[in-house]
């Protein structure tokens, strides 16, 4: 899995081998991924719920990509946003 966060200039590769998780420095650039024969999308997600104390937090992209209003109704990272706002922000990511 390759992850980028808005406001950070570095990127990293997270690998999860059986029975442990580690974060290791990248061994290639994100631009090398399509050359490996896979489809990749790179994006910076700068959206956050207005006034939310968490801002653009890790995992917010999952809420924008997957799930339903019911499944995310108690998520603190989305507090302050209507489901319509969440859907609108998520539609841009899902359109990739």
Q: pLDDT tens track of the chain, all 96 residues?
A: 444 444 444 444 444 444 444 455 556 666 676 676 777 666 778 899 999 999 988 889 899 988 899 999 999 999 999 999 999 999 887 887
Look up residue 15 and give its DSSP letter.
E
CA 84: distance to chain centroid?
Answer: 19
Distance CA 90, CA 64 (A): 4
**Residue extents of the structural domains in the chain:** 2-36, 45-96
From residue 37, how far is each of 31, 32, 33, 51 by CA, in Å?
A: 12, 10, 7, 41
Q: Report the pLDDT value the prediction gives residue 78, as an integer from 0 to 100.
A: 95
Secondary structure (DSSP) of 62-82: HHHHS--HHHHTT-GGGTT--
């Amino acid at each position: 899995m390759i992850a980028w966060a808005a406001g950070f200039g570095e990127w990293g590769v997270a690998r999860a081998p059986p029975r442990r998780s580690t974060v290791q420095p990248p061994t290639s650039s994100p631009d090398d991924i399509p050359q490996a024969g896979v489809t990749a999308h790179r994006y910076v997600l700068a959206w956050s719920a207005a006034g939310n104390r968490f801002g653009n937090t890790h995992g917010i992209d999952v809420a924008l990509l997957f799930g339903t209003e019911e499944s995310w109704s108690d998520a603190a990272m989305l507090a302050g946003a209507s489901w319509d706002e969440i859907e609108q922000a998520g539609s841009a990511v899902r359109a990739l």
